[in-house]
Structure formats: C-alpha cells, structure tokens
Structure 1
Amino acid sequence: DKEYQMLRTSALNIISELNITGGCNVQFALHPTSFEYCVIEVNPRVSRSSALASKATGYPIAKVAAKIALGYTLDEIKNAITGKTYASFEPALDYCVVKMPRLPFDKFITAKRTLTTQMKATGEVMSICTNFEGALMKAIRSLEQHVDCLRSYDFSALDKQELLKRLEIVDDQRIYVIAEALRKGIDYDTIFNITKVDRWFIDKIAIIVEMESALEKGPLTVELLKEAKRIEFPDNVIARLTGKTEEEIKEMRYSNGITASFKMVDTCAAEFEASTPYYYSCFDGENEAIETNPPKKVLVLGSGPIRIGQGIEFDYCSVHATWAFAKAGYETIIINNNPETVSTDFDIADKLYFEPLTPEDVENVVNIEKPDGAVVQF
C-alpha cells in the first residue's frame, strides 16, 4: 500500500504541475526491492489505458473528461453507475482485475517469442475476481489460445538446471515456466533473482500449483472442490487432474450447491448501493445479479480479444445486434472480456457480464439469466 500511495501522490503532483484538466494517465516503472521509481510516460488524453481503467473500475473516464471540457466540475457530475455519488468520489475496489495481452504466436509460429519494448500483442483480455489467483485463471482461459491453466504449456521434461536457464528467457510462456519451477521445488528467491518477478506474484502462482497437486493426489472432497472453484479452476481442468469426467465434476458441484454467484462492479466497494448491472462471477459470497422478468431476453456473446483475422468490426456487429434486440423489445445481455471494445461499456446492454467465453462460464450466466435465445456468431 505504501508503494501505491507513493505513486498515486506522484501522479497527482505531475498532473497538477502540468496543469492538466480532464483525463490523464501516468505510467511508472517501480524497482522491485526499493522505493525507487521512474516516470515512463504521461498521456494527457483519453487513451487505451483510460479505457482499461474505466472497465476495471466502472468509472466513465471519457464521459467525465468530456463534461470537464464543457466546464463542469467533478462535484457537479453524477456517477452513472451508482446514481448517487459524484465524479469527485474516487473509485474503491473490492475485487482484483488482471489484464493479459493476446499475443499472435499461434498464427506466427516462426516469430521470435521474446518480449521487448516492441509491441507484439494484437489485443488483450481483462478478468475480474475476488482474488488474484481466480482472476489470473480466468484471464488465461479468456485468451482463446487453447490454454486453460498453468499446465497448458508443458515444461515437465526440463530438469532443474534447464528450467533455471529457461527462466532467463523473457517471453509469453514465462509464467508457465515459473509454475513448473515451483513444481520442481525451486525456491522463491531463486526465481525472483532470475526473473525479478515480485515474490507476491510468485506466491500466488504457487497457490495455483499447490491446488493442482492437491487435486492430483486426491481424494476429491467437497471442501477441496470448493477451494478449487474459489480460485477459478474450470471443471475440465479439475476433471483432467483428478481422472474424472467433466460431467462428474459438474454433477458433484451442483449436488453440493457449488455454483457461480455474480458480484456487481459498483466503483465504491459496496459502500453505496449501485443499480447498474455490470457483473463478474465468483464462487464465494451471495449473488448480486438483479433478477428481472422481462417478456423476452436475449444473450449476445462478444468476440473476445482482438487477434489476427478478427478485429473490432466483430464488436461493431455485437453492439448493433444488441441495439436491434433492444429496439425490438428484448432485454439484452452481453458476455465479453475485451476492455478495448464498445460492447463492454456498462451502458450498451441492459446487463453486462465480464467473463471468459468458455462453455462453462457462459453456462453460469445462462443458469442465472435463462435467456430466450443467444447470438453467438460474432
């Protein structure tokens, strides 16, 4: 928290000194073991980072910036999500958000995978959960690259020395190599000294690795299944690790009441009541999804992350399909996980679910909403 407050204060001082009004984002590089930091860039405008921050917090940065340009002050602009607080109220989060780049190495299989200052991602995904481990697991399966857990890339054939050499390579598979290093018993300090990945993140990856091991060793108890779902292990991964079928895992979940509940993104950590239906799933806590009984409701699946051969035009189709259904008298529901898109603006559909587009995650929403139909082609 000390580091966060330090960077927050620095950002506010920079904005004040530069006399910036409206939207601005400041990017820092923070030393992993000291409080030394550098300013990388200052963007005095609404940017892609602003879009990400808006989706992560529910705070409409572009809309507020436009009103400030028209002469409004923050205490005159109402928060559209709560309808009660004002734009001067700083967003507070009671959940964790993970952004993960969508890299095109599934298409460019001979391309150099090393990550440098050169931009290589075609798009990105965002995930929300009540804990970091769950948000990370959701982000991995949101990529739609045939990965669903930290075992999706297999480095088990490498011995300890080979793993230590592999850890030195900075590429898109590094997180999977760190997980394998933890499985092989390599300690946090060694991994940190090679990768400079903060020990906090290494510890969170270790929690996921420990759950994999517990599921493999068995037996699969109700308590173990609850804990696996709390950190967002999908049914197919649990089935693979336990030697059961996906249907058996689902049946065990349902018979023991282990089902997804949905929490609201409200910008104020539930301090004020919010009415905007912008949700994320978790497996702990009560369901906050508002029950509605319209005559007809339709579910529109978004197109997920931008990739080679699939750009923003698919999101255009999703949004216009949503508007057309709304005009025809349907209640509209969108599921998507791309923070760069218009479809993930909280006011496009009647309800927005920020979720991976996998069968299990979509089914969780369907079980709650029970739509009359779904549009899946975008």
Structure 2
Amino acid sequence: MEHIEQAGIHSGDSACMIPTKTVSSSCLDTIRSWTTKLAKRINVCGLMNCQYAITASGEVFLLEANPRASRTIPFVSKAIGHPLAKYASLVMSGKSLHELCFTKEVIPQHVSIKEAVLPFEKFQGCDVLLGPEMRSTGEVMGIDSAFANAFAKAQIAAGQKLPLSGTLFLSLNDLTKPQLATIARAFLELGFRIVSTSGTAHVLELEGIPVERVLKMHEGRPHAGDMIANGQIQLMVITSSGDTLDQKDGRKLRRMALAYKIPIITTVAGALASAEAIQSLKCSTLKMIALQDFFDVKETRSNKNLQSASSFL
C-alpha cells in the first residue's frame, strides 16, 4: 500500500492506494523480502504491520514493524477481496494458509484509495495543515478501474468537493517551490486561473506562467482573505513555511477558507492527485459500482473453506 503524501504526514492522515503507483519493482522486491524475513525471525503468527520509507534515490528504510493489525486492515481487505482479520484469527487458531487457499499476494487490477476524514471545522482555531501528529477521525474509500476516478470518489466521500473550474490560490514554501511550475501548469490546462502572493507569483512569472498577484493579509487590502469572502477563489493549494508570519497570517487565511468551505490542499502530492481527479471529473461521469463486482466469483472459493473452519472458533 503506497501513501500519496510524502513521508512526514502521519499514516492515519495520508491518502493511500492499492496497488502502488510510483514505487519501483526493485523497492517492492526489497519490501517483500524484508517483511517476510522479519515476520519469520520474530515468529509472528497472524498479522504484522510494517511501514517503510523510500528516498528519491530508491533506498529503502524500515520505519517500524508492529506484530498486530492496523487501521488499514479493513481497507486492504475490501481492496483485495479477502477478509484478512478472519484469516489471521484462523491461522492463530491452528489453520494453515494452504487450508484457507490464501498463499499468494493479491495485486488487484482495479485501484483502491483510502482517504482520511479530517474534523478541522469542528475545532475553532485549529490549523488545517497535516504533519506527524494524527488529526483524522475516520476513513473513506474510493474504488475504480483508474487512479484518477478512484481518487475523485475518495475525495467526494471525505467531503472534499473539488471544483471543475474557477480560480486557484497557489502558495508554496521554499522547500516545495521546485514543484510549483508542475502544479500550476496542471491546473492551467484544466482551465483554472491562478492567483498568488508575491513570492510564489515571482517564481511563476520567471517560468512564464500567467499569474495574478494578490496581497498577503498584512500587506493591505484587497488581500487574499477578501477574495475568499467575495467568492473569487474556488480552490487553494498551500504548503506552510512554518515561520511566525505564517502562524499568524497563514493560519487566519486557512481558517477563513475552511469557514467558506473552500477546498484546501496542503501537500504537493495531494495537489497533483487532485488535478488528475478534476481532469477525470471533467472528461467522464463517475460510475457507482458495487464492491463485489470488482472481484471474480472464483475468488470467493476460500470463503467456503472459512465457513467450515469457523465452527470451532
């Protein structure tokens, strides 16, 4: 399962997908090998949850390994069509994986996206930025044959209403500015108008990307907050600088957007995924498909074994 947001965002707040999209086959081989060896070495019988980080150069690091189930077990079970918690309980009770007909990794042909439900609007003054501290209070799932459609469904389920047109407010910190042009061009191709404050606008202008400048909250009026109040901004992509000014002006702007129910994206990966989802929504109509219809009837074979095996639990 691959997280969409990069490392630094709590796993409970990060959107994630099955199967993986950007992880190389060599890294996947390493993860499979290490996980199997670790489980055998510490003699795990049942479920084990491992988290890995992969550097830009492709180096794999094991962050943690927990010999227990995780919150994502229900999501993974629905994504691959196998009840993993039930399998684990049966294995711990003495059944073998061969008896359960579950001996190979399932890599589905469809895409499943897990998205976090974040309660920011229920807590006055709470900032919407994501980080290592978990904020989510629930999870939703989007499933489709294509990544963009699945991500769009997950956003809708989580209450994030992505606009199909309008004005995008774009403000990236220095660390994420190398991705600025990529994000801007993606939304320009979708027909969005872009407005930015001075620092971000300067970088876009150097790239030859059309952008309209808007004042920061402390620079005078009309500023970005006024545009929000006037309904002139439909979507915001903001990565925080974390400095004192951002803690004052930035927080106020983000809270204002939340009050006016304007979608806010606070990571580069989330912005690019959202652009794909918006393009999909503009080009086609989402189809609601029953979860069972994503799986071949043959895949339910092991469930028959489960019915007889469950009698002694």
Pick the TM interval, shorter chain: 0.5 to 0.7
Q: Could you say which residue in structure 2 is the equivalent of 1:74?
A: 97
TM-score w.r.t. the length of structure 2 is 0.54
Q: Could you say which residue in structure 2 is the equivalent of 1:48?
A: 71
Q: Could you say which residue in structure 1 is the equivalent of 2:187?
A: 183
Please tell me whether residue 25 in structure 1 is matched to residue 49 in structure 2.
yes
> Cα offset for 1:52?
2.4
- What are the within-5 Å matches in structure 2 for residues 251-266 of structure 1? 262=290, 264-266=293-295
- Distance in 2 of aligned mates of 1:27 and 1:260: 32
Aligned length: 203
- Distance in 1 of aligned mates of 2:299 and 2:96: 22
TM-score w.r.t. the length of structure 1 is 0.45
Residues 148 and 203 from structure 1, CA distance in 2 versus in 1: closer, same or farther, beyond 3 angstroms?
Answer: closer
Residues 4 and 44 from structure 1, CA distance in 2 versus in 1: closer, same or farther, beyond 3 angstroms?
Answer: same
Please tell me whether residue 3 in structure 1 is matched to residue 27 in structure 2.
yes
Q: 1:164 aligns with which of 164, 169, 172?
A: 172
Please tell me whether residue 273 in structure 1 is matched to residue 292 in structure 2.
no
Q: Could you say which residue in structure 2 is the equivalent of 1:358?
A: none
Q: 2:284 aligns with which of 206, 217, 228?
A: 228
Q: Could you say which residue in structure 2 is the equivalent of 1:340?
A: none
Please tell me whether residue 58 in structure 1 is matched to residue 81 in structure 2.
yes
- Distance in 2 of aligned mates of 1:178 and 1:102: 27
> Cα offset for 1:9?
1.9
> Cα offset for 1:109?
4.1
How far does the alpha carbon of each residue in 1:249-308 deviate from its partner, in whole angstroms, 9 at most, with x for none?
A: xxxxxxxxxx75556243xxx4x62459xxxxxxxxxxxxxxxxxxxxxxxxxxxxxxxx
Residues 208 and 139 from structure 1, CA distance in 2 versus in 1: closer, same or farther, beyond 3 angstroms?
Answer: closer
- Distance in 2 of aligned mates of 1:196 and 1:103: 15
- What are the within-5 Å matches in structure 2 for residues 69-108 of structure 1? 69-77=92-100, 86-108=101-123
> Cα offset for 1:92?
2.9
> Cα offset for 1:164?
3.2
2:150 maps to a residue whose letter is A
2:84 maps to a residue whose letter is I
What is the percentage of aligned positions where both structures have the same residue? 25
> Cα offset for 1:46?
2.2
Q: Could you tell me which runs of 5 or more consecutive residues in structure 1 were left unpaired when the two chains were aligned.
A: 78-85, 170-176, 216-226, 233-258, 277-346, 348-378
> Cα offset for 1:100?
0.7
- Distance in 1 of aligned mates of 2:129 and 2:279: 28
Residues 168 and 29 from structure 1, CA distance in 2 versus in 1: closer, same or farther, beyond 3 angstroms?
Answer: same
DSSP 3-state at the match of 1:264: helix
- Distance in 1 of aligned mates of 2:66 and 2:163: 34
Residues 139 and 120 from structure 1, CA distance in 2 versus in 1: closer, same or farther, beyond 3 angstroms?
Answer: same
Q: Could you say which residue in structure 2 is the equivalent of 1:310?
A: none
Residues 211 and 260 from structure 1, CA distance in 2 versus in 1: closer, same or farther, beyond 3 angstroms?
Answer: closer
> Cα offset for 1:151?
5.4
Q: 1:133 aligns with which of 140, 145, 148?
A: 148
2:61 maps to a residue whose letter is C
2:99 maps to a residue whose letter is E
Q: Could you tell me which runs of 5 or more consecutive residues in structure 2 were left unpaired when the two chains were aligned.
A: 1-24, 190-203, 208-236, 241-265, 302-306, 308-313
- Distance in 2 of aligned mates of 1:15 and 1:3: 18
DSSP 3-state at the match of 1:76: coil
